[in-house]
Amino acid sequence: MKRKLIIFSVAFIAIATLCSYVLFPYTMKLRTGTGYIDFEITGAIGVPTSFSNYNDYGPVLYNTLIKGGGGDILGDNNLPKFNVTYNTSAPTSVIGNNRNECGVGYNSDPDAIMFTHNLFNGSYIYESDIVVNTNFHSISSTGGTYDTNVGSNEYDRVTASRHEIGHVQGLDHSLSNSFLMYETISRGNRKTYDGDYKAGLNCIYYDSCAPYTGTGDITIETKAQKSNSDLRQLSWKISNNNSILGFNIYFSNKELNTESTYNNQLIKTEIDSSNEYKFTVINNSSNTYFLEIVYESGLRTYKNF
């Protein structure tokens, strides 16, 4: 009995430990606060505010303090505006080039780099630092100010700054390169706050993750639609070949697995080799159906039937 108890305890601890490791990243949702926040940016981005004590966890060259309370961030007039100024006396960091452009972001230019550190406590961001090196000011490949557009051969520091502010607000990267929160940037391209950005803020701050159309690279191409209020079978195709990873499918707010039930009716879901999805509703009632694809990033594509 004692041996069984020990084996059970060890197994329990092992499974609990494993689960905590596996699940931990998923608890790190890019969310902060509820309701309203107000932006107060202390110092223009790029001006070092070192020797203040609100970042104990350096190394960060520049700090941007975001304060909470008041103001509707979703109103166009309240979206964060800032001037981009640079302190040329600060050293030229070479991290952009030599940390091997860790993955993604506005850091792929050989000399200029901009990215964000978000410090989470639970699911709350309580401190953010936008890291920007002085090359964003000085090298010929970067340009643009708040009032002056970027040159055709330059990377736009205003777009990069706006993108990083998005991270400060809790947004992750978008999947389409037409949006501000996409992870990379092209020369001569200026982006501003867009529907994708606002949809993200709505989701974070108002818990209103309503479907937002046109955001993704997934389109639902139906082969059979609801007819005579009696849906028997519906097929659709994921057009970007993204059939396995990165999204979940919901049918009238119920997540679809290979076999599901809805209104006590069995729904069979099949996926064939060409990314074709098909489900069959057996003896269904005439409900209105809502087919939705939800990306891991929270963006959604949906269709009513």
Partner 1 sequence: MRKIILFLCFMFSCSLAFSQLKKKEKLSKKQLSEYKIDYSNKMELLNLKHSADYFFDNNVNVYKYNELKSKGVDLIQVDKSTERTYKSAILFSNTQIKGTVVKRVYLDDKDSFFRTEISIKVDKSYYGTNLKKGEIIKLKLQSGKIGDDFLKVSNEPDLFLGESVILYLTSTDSEKFKKSLEGINEFNKNYKLKGNKDLNIIYSKKNSKVSNSFVLYKKYTVKNNIVFNKNKRKIGSLDEVENNIELISKINRL
Q: For binding to partner 1 (CB under 8 A), which residues are involved?
A: 18, 21-22, 25, 28, 30, 48, 50-51, 53, 55-61, 90-91, 93-95, 97-111, 115-121, 126, 133, 141, 153, 155, 164, 167, 173, 175, 177, 183-187, 217, 240-247, 295-296
| Smaller CB separation from partner 1, 100 or 227 | 100
Residue 170 per-residue DSSP state? T
DSSP 8-class letter at 107:
T
On the CB side of 97, how many CA atoms lie within 13 Å of its CA? Answer: 7
Q: How far is the CB of 157 from partner 1 (least distance, A)?
A: 13
On the 0-12 / 13-18 / 19+ scale of CB atoms within 10 A, 291 is buried
3-state secondary structure 187-256: CCCCCCCCHHHHHHHHHHHCCCCCCCCCCCCCCEEECCCCCCCCCCEEEEEECCCCCCCCEEEEECCEEC
Inter-residue contact 109 to 94 (CB < 8 Å) = no
Query: Among positive and negative, which fits the CA dihedral 95, 100, 102, 103?
Result: positive
Length of the chain, in residues: 305
Residue closer to partner 1, measured from CB, 89 or 228 = 89
Nearer to partner 1, 125 or 203 (CB): 125
User: Residue 183 Cβ, how far from partner 1 at the closest point, in Å?
Assistant: 8
Cβ 232 to partner 1 shortest distance, Å: 30
Nearest-approach distance from CB 302 to partner 1, in angstroms:
18
Of 186 and 229, which has the nearer Cβ to partner 1?
186
Q: How far apart are the first and last CA of the chain?
A: 58
- We find the least distance from the C-beta atom of residue 94 to partner 1, in angstroms, to be 3
Strand 124-132 relative to strand 233-238, pairing: unpaired
Q: For residues 117 and 278, which CB has a smaller minimum distance to partner 1 in the complex? A: 117
Q: Residue 75 CB, nearest distance to partner 1 (Å)?
A: 25
- Of 190 and 232, CB closest to partner 1: 190
Q: Which is nearer to partner 1, 41 or 47 (CB)?
A: 47
> Hey, what's the torsion of the CAs at 165, 167, 170, 173, to 10 degrees?
130
> Least Å distance between CB 91 and partner 1?
5
Nearer to partner 1, 128 or 260 (CB): 128
Q: How far apart are CA 108 and CA 114, in angstroms?
A: 9
Least distance from partner 1 to the Cβ atom of residue 79, Å: 19
Here the tokens at position 279 are 């489900």
